[in-house]
Amino acid sequence: MAWIKRNLVFVIIGIVAVGLLGASGFYIYKGWSDNTAAFNQLNEIYTELKDLTGKKPSPGNEKVNNIETAKGQEQQIRDWIRQAGNYFQPIPPIPNTGTNAVSSEAFAAALRRMIDQLQNEADVASVALPPQYAFSFEAQRKLVRFHDGLDLLAGQLGEVKTIAEILYAARVNSFDGIQRVRVSQDDLSGPQTDYLESTSATNNLAVITPYQITFRSFSPEIAQVLGNFAASSSGFIVKSINIQPAGSFALGSNANGSPDAMAPPPSAPVPTTMPSRGGLQTVLNEQLLRVTLLVEVVKLLPKK
């Protein structure tokens, strides 16, 4: 104790020094711990950035912001889809109830009215039809009660009407027939010539329904039919076209009133010679053609 008294100042200085050393050690330890945590966080950020940069496509760098570019391209696609939607307007079903609830009575009455209307429109447009043609609805024509699929049948009736009127507008010579996909149990009893052996397809955007159309005309009318489908706002896509001389076919009907090819074929057209004042003669030999079109109706799904 005497030594402490004699060296009190030195002792106090020593105690203070030890305290400062302890505080310094704690500060250094805390700083080291913070640095370690920051270093680990930096490594995690670097690893994540490296992974993102290595992806295809990468998010970009300080000069190229691929994320913003992708957002802009996504907006362009959405704008394009919205604009393209103007060319895929839905065809109203017949009857159009505003819902999928279609009664047997309403459909039976609408079907008979529509068959009569299409036959009258064909007469006005001078388009020949098979005798008593039902436009692929022979199985439903005389029914008053239906098993199922009335909403789908109503949709098909509206689409068949639109397709027939496109041909009428082009003034084709004859409308031999149209084939559709089966959507009802009643379709199993219909004539084979009314149906396609395929089904509608559904993807993330739309329902695609095929129809096969057969008609006869000359080349200008064929061009007009294709132009009418292209100009339609109802989303028609012509998938294939088959053209043959109509001389090997004759318009007739089978026992069910559906179109059929019958013999004998009509005589071949006789070339007409146009007189000229000199040089080569001009020969006109416009030939009647039989055309088979495979057309798809694209119906956009409701927006979610």
- pLDDT of res. 259: 47
Which residues 6+ apart lie within 8 Å of 137 measured at CB? 111, 115, 153, 157, 160, 194
Q: Report angle CA 198, 202, 206 to the nearest 5 degrees.
A: 125
Q: In angstroms, rounded to a whole number, what is the distance separating the alpha carbons of residues 83 and 96?
A: 26
Claim: this prediction has a pTM higher than 0.85: no
- pLDDT of res. 263: 38
- pLDDT of res. 257: 42
- pLDDT of res. 262: 37
- pLDDT of res. 37: 80
- pLDDT of res. 266: 43
Q: In angstroms, rounded to a whole number, what is the distance separating the alpha carbons of residues 250 and 266?
A: 7
Strand partners, 9: none
pLDDT tens-place string over residues 53-78: 666 665 566 666 777 777 777 788 77
Cα 294 to Cα 168, 179, 213, 240: the distances in Å are: 17, 9, 6, 5
Q: In terms of Cα–Cα distance, which of 112, 61, 296 is closest to 104?
A: 112
Q: Are 289 and 246 in contact (CB under 8 A)?
A: yes
- pLDDT of res. 39: 78
The residues spanned by each domain of the chain are 91-266+287-300
Pick the CATH number of 91-266+287-300 from 3.30.1360.120, 3.40.470.10, 3.20.20.70, 3.30.70.60: 3.30.70.60
DSSP conformation class of 126: T
- pLDDT of res. 98: 79
In the chain, where does DSSP find H-type helix? 2-6, 8-54, 66-84, 104-124, 138-141, 150-169, 219-231
- pLDDT of res. 265: 43
Q: In angstroms, rounded to a whole number, what is the distance separating the alpha carbons of residues 300 and 235?
A: 9
- pLDDT of res. 35: 76
- pLDDT of res. 75: 80
Residues of the chain with pLDDT under 50: 251-274, 276
Sign of CA dihedral 223, 194, 173, 281: positive
- pLDDT of res. 101: 83
pLDDT tens-place string over residues 153-207: 999 999 999 999 999 999 999 999 999 999 999 999 889 999 999 999 998 888 9
- pLDDT of res. 148: 85
Q: In angstroms, rounded to a whole number, what is the distance separating the alpha carbons of residues 116 and 133?
A: 10
Q: In angstroms, rounded to a whole number, what is the distance separating the alpha carbons of residues 206 and 296?
A: 12
Q: In angstroms, rounded to a whole number, what is the distance separating the alpha carbons of residues 157 and 138?
A: 12
